[in-house]
Amino acid sequence: MKSQIRISNHADCCLIDIEGIIGVPEEWQFDTPDERVATYEKFRTLLRRIAQIDAPRVVVNIRSTGGDVGDALLIYDALAALKGHITTRCFGYTASAATIIAQAASEGAREVSPNCLYLIHNSSCATEGNAGELDSKAELLRQTDARIAAIYARRSGRKEEEFAALMNENHGNGRWLSPREAVDCGLADRLADPQSASTTLTRNLVRGWERFLSRLGLHTDAERPLDRNTLNASTQTAARQQSDTERRRAAVQPTTVLPAEDPSVSEVAQSSNDKAYAEDARMFRK
């Protein structure tokens, strides 16, 4: 999944959504510069925005299988330094570096979805070189594992050795934990409200469609995050209601799609259906 970290501000709460792979090297990513989300400049800007958040409540929604440990530690430090109350909520597959970010919550505020799967494991890397260079990399990995185990232990009340042993299971690949197991071993504080999980996943699906439509040249009236830490709630609600009214008035017919050419939500259609989708876009603009 493409890496995405979004910050949206509301009247009394700042939402941070973390999805996809954390800190994917730029050369692994996408075709155009606008789609490359792991450049140093973009990541530095993101950390600066997190550090400047001044909301009384911050909710961090995490749906990620992990990524770069170094980047995850930087995000963890930025969140942990905030003055507001931090809640982290994990959904779907939450693994590896993503679990480090989840530990940045305030006391008692690490939540996992009742349907979440949670994985911690030893760090790994790809390298080459002579025996001395490989020994040096191995020592770095051991130090990284010790640092991560200490972060897990700090919030759990358990010893670092217990988490080191859990990370080392299955030859260092760890073990997928159920939500209850994650709570019982001290990696989370409680199960999230199922309604919160449903709302978050629905919002993510809507955003997927918005990105797909924008690639076709169609810009929706969906709410955009603002670079502010407070937002007038009544103004935001009125704008949303007006947008809903306009959408209800739009009479858009469904697109006829050939079964073998149904495009994915996350992909731009490259088939004979382009014409049909373009027609839908024109009807939306009316």
Q: What is the pLDDT of residues 136-170, one digit of tens each?
A: 999 999 999 999 999 999 989 899 999 999 999 99
CA-angle at 112, arms to 111 and 117, nearest 5°: 155
Closest CA to 30 of 171, 154, 211, 202: 211
Mention every residue, 6+ apart, whose C-beta is less than 8 A from residue 186.
Answer: 152, 153, 155, 156, 157, 158
Q: What is the pTM of this model?
A: 0.65
- 6 membership: H or E segment, kind and range: strand 4-9
How far, in Å, CA of 282 to CA of 256, rounded?
Answer: 16
Alpha-helical runs (H) found in 81-159: 97-102, 131-156
Q: What percent of the chain has pLDDT over 90?
A: 48
pLDDT value of position 35: 57
SS3 95: strand
pLDDT value of position 248: 57
How far, in Å, CA of 1 to CA of 270, rounded?
Answer: 20
Cα–Cα distances (Å) from 162 to 20, 114, 146, 152, in that order, read 28, 24, 11, 10
Amino acid at 81: A
Axis crossing angle, helix 131-156 with helix 69-80, rounded to the nearest 10: 30
pLDDT value of position 46: 83
Q: Which residues of the chain, if any, have pLDDT below 70? A: 1-3, 24-40, 194-286
pLDDT value of position 225: 45
- 59 membership: H or E segment, kind and range: strand 57-67
Strands, sheet with 85-90, edge to edge from the N-terminal-most edge strand: 4-9, 13-22, 57-67, 85-90, 110-112, 190-191
SS3 175: strand
CA-angle at 12, arms to 9 and 17, nearest 5°: 40
How far, in Å, CA of 222 to CA of 219, rounded?
Answer: 9
Task: For 67, list phi and psi in degrees, rounded to 5.
Answer: 155, -135
Paired residues of 6 in beta bridges = 17
Amino acid at 250: A
How far, in Å, CA of 231 to CA of 37, rounded?
Answer: 26
How far, in Å, CA of 79 to CA of 77, rounded?
Answer: 6
